[in-house]
A and B are shown apart, each in its own frame.
Chain A
Amino acid sequence: MSETEGTTEVPEMGNPAPAKPSFAHTFLRGLWSENPGLCQLLGLCPLLAVTNSAVNALGLGLATLAVLTMSSLLISVLHRLIWREIRIPIYVALIASLVTCVSFMVEAYYPRLHESLGIYLSLIVTNCIIMGRAEACAGKSDPLRATLDALGCGIGFGLVLLATGAIRELLGTGTVFAGGEELLGDLAAQVSTTLFAPDQGITAAILPPGGFIVLALLVALKNALDLHRRHRRENRLRIRSRRV
């Protein structure tokens, strides 16, 4: 059955569904081509507010990843019950109660984690990336695909946070991963490095304007890389055609 369908290309009579992206693509697009931080510029408020040190950025990144994965899974499992007309209030209710339950449990059973991540967890309720993924992907795909998509976006956002946080911390205070032992235990105490004395730093980098500037530079870097790659591809094609 599959053979005949695969070999003969019969145009479908109904509306042809667009080809589903592969699992790898679903995962990878969140990392680069549809990165929530660099392309969609979603979740700017927590991104700029929290990324003045690498450790804070990592904390928010981990919290976002966990909540995003859970909410996407939940929404994709329930997506038959979530009608189009009422989807937004349902997303809001589901995400808010999920985050609240998770923060209760973390507070009760993982007190150390709660002390370092607790504030980020409640920031996440208002994070529009989670709504964005629920609307764009989780609400209309199967649980596996939704989870992969959420993982990709979560990790992509986390990496942007981490990069912004590390650059700002380095410029502003001359350290990287200072105070990481609260979040990661003794492992981070070795990662933590000091490059120069804090009073030589550019204080503006830790203040809000620094966040905008660093993020803009990162976005510019990504666009430049994309542009460079496209140019190379087009140039290669042109040279080849001239020879022929």
Chain B
Amino acid sequence: MSALTHNRPLRAITAGILLCAIGCLCVWSVLYARHATAPAIEQRHMARLDSMAATLLPVSASGQGDLRLNCRLASAPGIGRNMPLYIATSGGKEIGYIVVYSSPRGYSNPLLLIAGMDTSLRLGKVDIHLSRETPGIGDKVDRRHSDFLDQFTGRALDGQFWEVRKSGGDFDYISGATVTSRAIVTATADMLKAMQNLDTRGLAPCKGGK
């Protein structure tokens, strides 16, 4: 021990090794925790998505029973890279799409939204899929806190100006969360534009075969 307190190079090297060891231990524990909890997290994610999907489609499209979701990966400007796109079929007929899309204009990325629409691209319901917006400010647009997201129901790309009222558009916004409100409005418009040009049949299926 005294050698360690008096011999400075030795002490420095030992300290370095000690730091390395503790660092490795930390990295290992994080990796282990991630590995151990990944299946449970994934399962919960899928379950939540399934229950969400059932409520997202427009009323006209859903409610015929026998609803099946076919997962594809979509990559397009306005949607994002490798975002899940669910083609909803009922009785072998396409009745609508549910798409997860990302917005680059929120306060902190990723801001992922999810929307359901029928085959003529009229929106069913828009919801937040994953949000890292500031708690208490950016999460005011959430369904739990306001009815901001309900105004998208039944809208289509044509017939409205896709901006918040503050900038002359047709959509209400939440004061105090204008940036997040605008991000959602413009991202939804971009997504609808992208959907018009997207060949949904040519998309690659998701991994895991859902």
List residues of A whose CB falls within 8 A of some B CB: 49-50, 52-53, 56, 59, 81, 83, 85-86, 89-90, 93-94, 96-97, 100-101, 104-105, 107-109, 111, 119-120, 179, 182, 203, 206-207
Contact = CB atoms under 8 A, between A and B. Distances in A.
Q: Which of A90, A179, A203 has the most CB of B within 10 A?
A: A90
B44 A111 contact: yes
Contacts of A104: 33-34, 36-37, 41
Given A86-B18, A100-B30, A111-B44, A179 B137 contact: no
A109 B12 CA distance: 42
Interface string B32-57: 01101100110010000000000000
Given A52-B136, A52-B137, A107-B37, A101 B29 contact: yes
Interface stretch (B20-28, B85-93, B199-207): B20-28
B15 A85 contact: yes
Contact of B145 (A59, A108, A179): A179
Given A85-B12, A101-B30, 19 more contacts: A56-B136, A81-B18, A83-B15, A83-B18, A85-B11, A85-B15, A86-B15, A90-B19, A93-B23, A93-B26, A104-B33, A104-B34, A105-B33, A107-B37, A107-B41, A109-B37, A111-B44, A179-B145, A203-B175
B154 interface: no
B6 interface: no
Nearest to A95: B26
Interface SS of chain B:
helix
Nearest to B12: A85
B65 interface: no
Contact of A100 (B33, B40, B134, B145): B33
Interface in B145-183: 145, 175-176
B135 interface: yes
B134 A81 contact: no
Contacts of A107: 37, 41, 44
Contacts of B26: 93-94, 96-97
Given A81-B22, A109-B40, A97 B136 contact: no
A108 B78 CA distance: 31
A143 to B, nearest CB: 18
Interface of B: 11-12, 15-16, 18-19, 22-23, 26-27, 29-30, 33-34, 36-37, 40-41, 44, 132, 134-137, 144-145, 175-176
A50 B26 CA distance: 29
Nearest 6 pairs of A and B residues by beta carbon: A108-B37, A97-B26, A108-B40, A101-B33, A93-B26, A104-B33
Given A101-B29, A203-B176, A182 B40 contact: no
A53 B15 contact: no
Contacts of A109: 37, 40
A108 B41 CA distance: 5
Nearest to A119: B135
B129 to A, nearest CB: 13
Nearest to B145: A179
Nearest to A101: B33
A119 B18 CA distance: 32
18 contacts: A53-B136, A56-B135, A85-B11, A89-B23, A90-B19, A90-B22, A94-B22, A97-B27, A101-B29, A104-B33, A104-B34, A105-B33, A105-B37, A107-B41, A108-B37, A179-B145, A206-B176, A207-B176
